[in-house]
Amino acid sequence: MDLTAIKKYPSQISTAFKRFPLAVAFAIFTTIAFIYVFESHSLLTDSKLLFWLFFYPIAATMIALTISLVQESRKKFSIIPHVVAEAVWLAVSIALTFYYVSTDNNTEITYVLVTGLFIYTTVFLSIFIAPFFKQKDENGFWVFLMKNAKAAVIASAISAVLLIAIEGLLLGFFNLFDIKVSDKPFIYSAIICSCTIFPILFFSGIPSIDECLQEAPALNKFQTSANKFLFLPVISLYIILLYAYIAKIIIQWEMPKGMVFSPPPASPSSS
């Protein structure tokens, strides 16, 4: 990353607050929620509130981000889709929370966790797919995907360096004045860097949809063909398989035998 790119970060972060205000707000809420969960010194299953605070906010952040990107791609901005989607997720998360905490049946607990996995997988994939769902030219999708991968790597690196610096300063300060403290300040800084700093830095690196649509093709013909006829079908089939497992659990109310990655049975050793 050159010096020019670093100088752009303040304006990019400011733009992220304007482009994704609700997603930023949920990222901050996630930090507060996780700190509260840590301060409770209890298991998630001990309280419906604790489980909900752990389960709800990250998906809410991704939903808000997805809707903002879809509206940006369609150039139609309204608060109503945000309200409806977040209200639905709020209701679903509360229902799953009450169901999870109220049952002692392992199968029912697994049902809730698998349903949560289904929701999180769908919401995560929608961040990259939904803005280009009606676009005929797939080049914009690949440009968007690559730039987001780069933004995630850069945000992770900066967050990690910042976390190391903050914890180093805290450790030096406490040792200098011989202050005996618990591990709370270090855990708080880790939560803040991972739940607030990282998302905001990532949001600041998300390219605009128009920018991706107008950019020159990111892949050559061979790469495009390989992705279209090899990579995408394999990933699509695996996602369908995952959803099929989830549907079977819901319909039959029991776990399927074996796993998606089920190792072959070991052959008996010859004596």
d(CA 184, CA 241): 42
d(CA 246, CA 36): 31
**Diameter over CA atoms, the chain:** 71
Per-residue pLDDT band at 211 (split at 50, 70, 90)? confident
Domain span at 210 = 3-218
Assess if residue 231 is contained within a domain.
no
Burial class (CB in 10 A: 0-12, 13-18, 19+), 40: middle
Assess if residue 83 is contained within a domain.
yes
- Does residue 66 contact residue 235 with C-beta atoms inside 8 Å? no
Assess if residue 32 is contained within a domain.
yes
Q: What is the number of residues in the chain?
A: 271
- Does residue 187 contact residue 38 with C-beta atoms inside 8 Å? yes
Q: Does position 141 have pLDDT exceeding 70, yes or no?
A: yes
Tens of pLDDT, residues 78-104? 999 999 999 999 999 999 999 888 888
- Which of 15-19, 146-150, 173-177, 239-243 comes out lowest in average pLDDT? 239-243
d(CA 129, CA 131): 6
The confidence score (pLDDT) of residue 133 equals 82
- Does residue 112 contact residue 244 with C-beta atoms inside 8 Å? no
Query: What is the pTM for the complete model shown?
Result: 0.80
> How many Å from the N-terminal Cα to the C-terminal Cα in the chain?
60
The pair of three-digit structure tokens given for residue 252, joined into one six-digit string: 């039959």
Assess if residue 268 is contained within a domain.
no
The confidence score (pLDDT) of residue 204 equals 93
Distance of CA 160 to the CA centre of its chain: 17
The confidence score (pLDDT) of residue 112 equals 84
Cα–Cα nearest to 197, from 1, 15, 6, 24: 24
> What total number of domains does the chain contain?
1
- Does residue 25 contact residue 212 with C-beta atoms inside 8 Å? no
Assess if residue 181 is contained within a domain.
yes
Assess if residue 253 is contained within a domain.
no
Tens of pLDDT, residues 59-84? 999 999 999 999 999 888 899 999 99
Question: 106-118: buried (b, 16+ CB within 10 Å) or exposed (e) per residue?
Answer: eeeeebbebbbeb
Assess if residue 93 is contained within a domain.
yes
Q: Which of 80-84, 247-251, 260-264 has the highest mean pLDDT?
A: 80-84
